[in-house]
Each structure stands twice: as C-alpha cells, then as structure tokens.
Amino acid sequence: MKAETDRHWNEWGARDPYFSVLGVDRFRAGTIAQHRAEFFATGEATIAGTLARLDQRFGPGRQGAALDFGCGVGRLTLPLARRFERVVAVDVAQTMREEAARNLAEAGLPNVALRSTVASLLGHERFDLVISYIVLQHIPVRPGMAILRDLVALLAPGGRFSLHLSVRRFDGSAQRLAYWLRNSVAPARWLLNLRRGDPWDMPPVQMNQYDLPEVLRLFSAAGITDLQVQTEFHDRTLTVALLGRKPDP
C-alpha cells in the first residue's frame, strides 16, 4: 500500500507539485508562477509560528540541525534553512526533491541535504528540531507509526519537535462513498476527477486517521511525556500538532 502511495506522490510531483503540497487553486501548475511568493510566504509564517510556540512552551532551542519530513517542494525547508546551520529535507518523491533542489538553488541556500527516507538517517544523524506538517495523514497508518518512531529517535537530547497528523474525519455518507470510490474504483476516480476539474488520470490522495492514544503511547515509550497538543480543523478533518522536547540525559 505504501509503495502505491509513494508512486502517486511522485506523479503529483511531476504534474502539479505546488497544489499537491497546499491545495489552493491558485497554486495549480498553470498559475503558480504568479503566486510563488505567496506560496512560500505561507511556509515562512508556519515556521515562524511553530518556533514561537516551541520557544514559549519549552524555551529557546539550539539552531544547529533541523529535519523537515515530507518536504515537498521546500515550502518549510527554505525558512528552516534561513534559521538553522544545517537542514535535512526528506521526501519519498524524486520529482518533489528535484523541485525543492531548484527552489533552494534559486534562493541561494546551500545548507540543505535532500534525502528519500528517514530510515537512511538512523545511526548517523541527530537533530535539534524535527518538523512535519500536513504530511503524515497521506501515509498509511502502520508505516506512518514506524516513521513517527524514527523521527523521535532522530531527536538530539534537548531537541524539539512539531509533528502534525490527522485523527478524525467528520464526513457524511456521500463524502465517505466518494472517498472510497476515488481510492478503490479507477473508473469512478476518473469521473470524479473530471467533475472536480482535474485531469481524469490524476492519482488519489489518501487521508488516513491516526489513533491519538496510540501516538501518545509511542511518545511516552520514548521517554517524552511533556507534550503540547494543538488542534486544527482542515476542511472536515480534525488534526493535531504535537509539540514537545526530548529530555536531556
């Protein structure tokens, strides 16, 4: 299942990368050129707000190394690279990483390494900040939980994190049926894509919900018990951002 979603994101990265990162019509491939500044301004605002909340709750953090999981085209990577000495940006889609590399080069930010998996960093890296925003809900829950464990393991002592995930969708029966058809029945997906104004063959985007108590148990098992939980609604989906700090030894 995850291999299939990985292929889908590679295709989105090739065909409509900015819209797939932030689903606003003016960020479509045909109109992103005139809205690029606005797109990247949203990333600047997200990073500034996240760091301010972390500072307020846990105190100032080190600005050595940061990890951006699910970096896409670099919406959050660019503002991180302006604040941290070194950034590792991870995305499974090669097409996304290639677009992020172009954006980083254009911005003159050479302090970013692009990687395809989190697992490749284990045993080699430690980070002062780990962040992921509007990413994990697109990953099936079982591999997503494994990724969460790896992200926590990559924190340096005293390292801080902000990890965002979806916990519940409030869909009616019509929305649930449309979601099932789009993800399970190819001809139905083609028709639904056309109805939405998308190319008929665009791949589906998974929206998975995580069990919040299980996620909290994962953090507790890793020795992280001081967490701040912030709720957000994205359309009909309840999401949470988990902010925390890894204890010093």
Residue 85 tokens read as 């000495």
In a domain, 27, yes or no: yes
Q: Which pLDDT score, from 0 to 100, does residue 114 have?
A: 98
Angstrom distances, CA of residue 48 to CA of 55, 58, 188:
11, 15, 41
Residue 179 lies in a domain: no
CA 50 to chain CA centroid, Å, is 14
Predicted pLDDT of residue 180: 60
**Residues 210, 241 contacting (CB under 8 angstroms):** no
Report if residue 166 sits inside a domain.
yes
Residue 101: how many CB atoms within 10 A of its CB? 15
Say what the pLDDT of residue 178 is.
65
Rounded (to 5) percent helix, strand, coil in the chain = 50, 20, 30
The list of the chain residues with pLDDT below 70 reads 1-3, 176, 178-183, 185, 190, 193, 200
Domain assignment present for 160: yes
Residues of the domain holding 41: 2-170+208-245
- Specify the pTM: 0.92
Extract the tokens encoding 63.
């600005």
Cα separation, 75 vs 79, in Å, equals 8
Residue 221, domain member (yes or no)? yes
Residues 30, 57: Cα–Cα separation, whole Å = 41
Quote the CA–CA distance of 203 and 171 in Å, as a whole number: 21
Residue 180 lies in a domain: no
Query: What integer pLDDT is reported at residue 181 of this predicted model?
Result: 61
Q: How many distinct structural domains can be found in the chain?
A: 1
Q: What is the pLDDT of residue 1?
A: 55
**Residue 73 pLDDT:** 98
Largest Cα–Cα distance in the chain?
A: 56
6-19 exposure pattern, b = at least 16 Cβ within 10 A, e = fewer: bebbbbbbebbbbb
> Is residue 71 assigned to a domain?
yes
Tell me the backbone φ, ψ of residue 80, rounded to 5 degrees: -65, -40
Given a contact cutoff of 8 angstroms between Cβ atoms, the answer to whether 16 and 29 are in contact is yes
Length of the chain in terms of residues written = 249
Write down the pLDDT at residue 236.
82
Domain presence at residue 117: yes
CATH code, domain with 156? 3.40.50.150
